[in-house]
Amino acid sequence: MRFDSLLDSVGGTPLVGLPRLSPGPEVRLWAKLEDRNPTGSIKDRAALAMVEQAEKDGLLTPGCTILEPTSGNTGISLAMAARLKGYRLVCVMPENTSAERTQLLRMWGAEVVYSPGAGGSNEAVRVARRMSQEHPDWIMLYQYGNLANAQAHYDTTGPEILTDLPTVTHFVAGLGTTGTLMGAGRYLREHQPGIQIVAAEPRYGELVYGLRNLDEGFVPELYDESVLTTRYSVGPRDAVRRVRQLLNQEGIFAGISTGAILHAAIGLGQRAVKAGESADIAFIVCDGGWKYLSTGAYEGTLDEAEDRLDGQVWA
C-alpha cells in the first residue's frame, strides 16, 4: 500500500479473526485493529476529519491555535495532524491519566494543561470551555459535539467492517465521545438489517465520578441512544482480565479499554452459543497497550492491577 503522506494513510485497518477466543465455529469474534493508525489509535480518524472540516468551513487558517479537552488519544491524533498542518495545539487533560499520554502529546509538540482528577473528563471539558472564553481566537474542535467525528466513522469505519465481514451480526465499541458508535453504528444499521450495535462503557474508580453535584454530569451532544441496541458498564477487573487474554491467547497487545469492549463481545458471543445462533461479532481494538505500561495493568495479579487503576482514567 502506498500513500502520498502519513495523513493519507489514516484508516483502512485490518479485521483479524480470533480463532482461540471465539466461543465456537459458528460464533466468531473479529478484531478491528485501530492501533494500526498513524498515531496508534482509532482517534486518528475523527481528529483528521474534524481538522479538515474546520479548514473547509474556514474556521482553521494557518497559524491558528486549536484547543481540545481530551483524556489522551484524541489529543495525540490532533497533535500529529496539527504538527503536519502547521497549527498550535493546546490540550486539556485530566491529571489522572497515564504518564505516556503527556509524553506523547509533548513529543508531537502539543501543550498540555491539566484539569483536576476528580470529575475525570467532565472536568477537562469544563476547563477547556473556560479557556475558550478567555481566548476567543482559539478554535475548539470539541469532539463531543462535532458532527465530523461521527461522520468519519460513518464514512470509513462502518463501510470497512461491512466490506470485510458482510455477515456481521454485532458491532461492539467503546463509549467515550460516542463518535465511533454513532457513526459506524448508524452506517451498519442502514446497511445490515438486524445488526446489534453494542456499547461497552468503562466503569472507573470513585474519584472519576467525584462530581460536586449531579448537574455536572455530562452526556456528549453526539449521543443518540436510538442507534444502540444496548450498553454495558465494564469495570477495570474485567477489562484487565480480557486484555491479558487477548495478549496471551491471540497475541494482540491492546490498551485497557479494548479489554472492556472484548468483555462485552465475549458476553454476546456466549449468549449466541446458548441460543444456538450463529454470529459474527466485530469489535474495536482502540489502541495498543504501549501507552498503558506504566499503569501496571499487564503485570502482577488482577487484584494488584485493579488497585493500581483505581482513580485513573484508564480508557
Partner 1 sequence: MSVEVRIPTILRPYTDGAKIVEAQGDSLAAVITDLDTRYTGIGERLVEEGSLRRFINVYLNDEDVRFLGGIDTPVADGDSVTILPAVAGG
Helix (H, G, I), strand (E, B) or coil at 85: helix
Closer by beta carbon to partner 1, 8 or else 225:
225
Nearer to partner 1, 105 or 162 (CB): 105
Q: Is the dihedral of CA 282, 283, 288, 293 positive or negative?
A: negative
Q: CA 148, 41, 219: angle at the middle one, nearest 5?
A: 50
Q: Which of 8, 26, 216, 299 binds partner 1 (CB under 8 A)?
A: 216
Nearest to 153 by CA among 288, 264, 43, 231: 43
Candidate ranges 26-34, 81-89, 198-206, 303-311; the one touching partner 1 (CB under 8 A):
198-206
Q: Residue 211 CB, nearest distance to partner 1 (Å)? A: 5
Span 230-289, contacts to partner 1 by CB under 8 A: 230-234
Interface with partner 1 in residues 122-161 (CB under 8 A): 122, 124-125, 143-144
* Shortest CB 70 distance to partner 1, Å: 6
Q: Does the active-site annotation cover 115?
A: no
Among positions 114, 138, 218, 298, the unique one binding partner 1 when judged by CB under 8 A:
218
43 is catalytic: yes
| Amino acid letter for position 109 | G
Distance CA 61, CA 96 (A): 33
216-248: buried (b, 16+ CB within 10 Å) or exposed (e) per residue? Answer: eeeebebbeeebbeeebebebbbbbbbbbbbee
Of residues 4-63, which lie at the interface with partner 1 (CB under 8 A)? 43
Q: Which residues contact 226 (CB under 8 A, 6 or more apart)?
A: none
DSSP string covering 142-195, please? -TTT-HHHHHHIIIIIHHHHHHH-TT--EEEEE-SSSHHHHHHHHHHHHHSTT-
Choose which of 229, 293, 296, 310 interacts with partner 1 (CB under 8 A).
229
Q: How far is the CB of 219 from partner 1 (least distance, A)?
A: 5
Catalytic residue among 32, 41, 43, 77: 43
Among the listed residues 57, 134, 137, 206, the single contact to partner 1 using CB under 8 A: 206
What are the residues binding partner 1 (CB under 8 A)? Answer: 43, 70-71, 73-74, 119-122, 124-125, 143-144, 174-177, 179, 201-204, 206, 208-220, 225, 228-234, 315
Q: Catalytic site residues?
A: 43, 257
